[in-house]
A and B are shown apart, each in its own frame.
Chain A
Amino acid sequence: SQTIHQWPATLVQPVGSPLSLECTVEGTSNPNLYWYRQAAGRGLQLLFYSVGIGQISSEVPQNLSASRPQDRQFILSSKKLLLSDSGFYLCAWSRDRGMFAEAFFGQGTRLTVV
């Protein structure tokens, strides 16, 4: 069966510090990978998605970047965090084929920038 791991679960970082959140998927190959952010009182916003190694699409301009160094690894980064980067970050994967393939989500990372 497929599983998705996301860490850390919680993180408190000072403004201006770097960020690295990691997500890995097991039990499948060539998944589509996604980073979503859920800000307080708001819905989920797609930040990045990837259909393969080294292939990253950014959905919104922001202070963050994403990388996919391996087939089942997706990393969310920032060089200098802003207060507005606080939120709940969710990694997700879906099968690479099929328009109806639902997304499977990790447990999320609660990021607080202070």
Chain B
Amino acid sequence: AQSVTQLGSHVSVSEGALVLLRCNYSSSVPPYLFWYVQYPNQGLQLLLKYTSAATLVKGINGFEAEFKKSETSFHLTKPSAHMSDAAEYFCAVMEYGNKLVFGAGTILRVKS
């Protein structure tokens, strides 16, 4: 079975600083990986996805993620944090039937 581990349930950065949210996956087949963002009391919005094309994936709002097979990782980064980036971020791996297996989520706090 596939699984996702997000290291750090809470991450705090200063405005303008680098954002790094960690995600490691476990999969017996080539994975299809996603990052979603959730603002308070709202649904999830897709940030980016990896589907075995380029290993560096660019998403919305200046976020990007790099797929590293040797490290089984798919970390999310953004060069400069903005206050509006404060939200909860979920990494997910897709199973057969387009079912998503989510990590526990990381709450990002941006300090002014």
- Chain A interfacial positions (CB closer than 8 Å to B): 6, 9, 32, 34, 36, 41-46, 49, 51, 57, 59, 88, 90, 92, 94-95, 98-108, 110
The reply to whether the CB of B34 lies closer than 8 angstroms to some CB of chain A is yes
Contact B104 A42 (CB under 8 A): yes
A105-B43, A107-B42, A108-B41 as given contacts; A43 in contact with B94, CB under 8 Å:
no
Q: How far is the CA of A88 from the CA of B98 in the complex (A)?
A: 21
Contact of B102 among A6, A43, A95 (CB under 8 A): A43
How many residues of chain B are within 8 Å of chain A by beta carbon? 24
Q: Are A100 and B51 in contact (CB under 8 A)?
A: yes
Instruction: Tell me, in angstroms, the Cα distance from A70 to B48 when the chains sit together.
Output: 31
- Residues of B with C-beta under 8 A to A92: 43-44
Please name the 9 residue pairs, one residue from A and one from B, whose CB atoms are nearest each other, closest first: A105-B43, A43-B104, A100-B51, A105-B44, A44-B102, A94-B98, A43-B102, A107-B43, A102-B46
List residues of B (41-100) whose CB comes within 8 Å of A's CBs: 41-46, 49, 51, 90, 94, 96-100
Shortest CB-to-CB span from B102 to chain A, Å, is 4
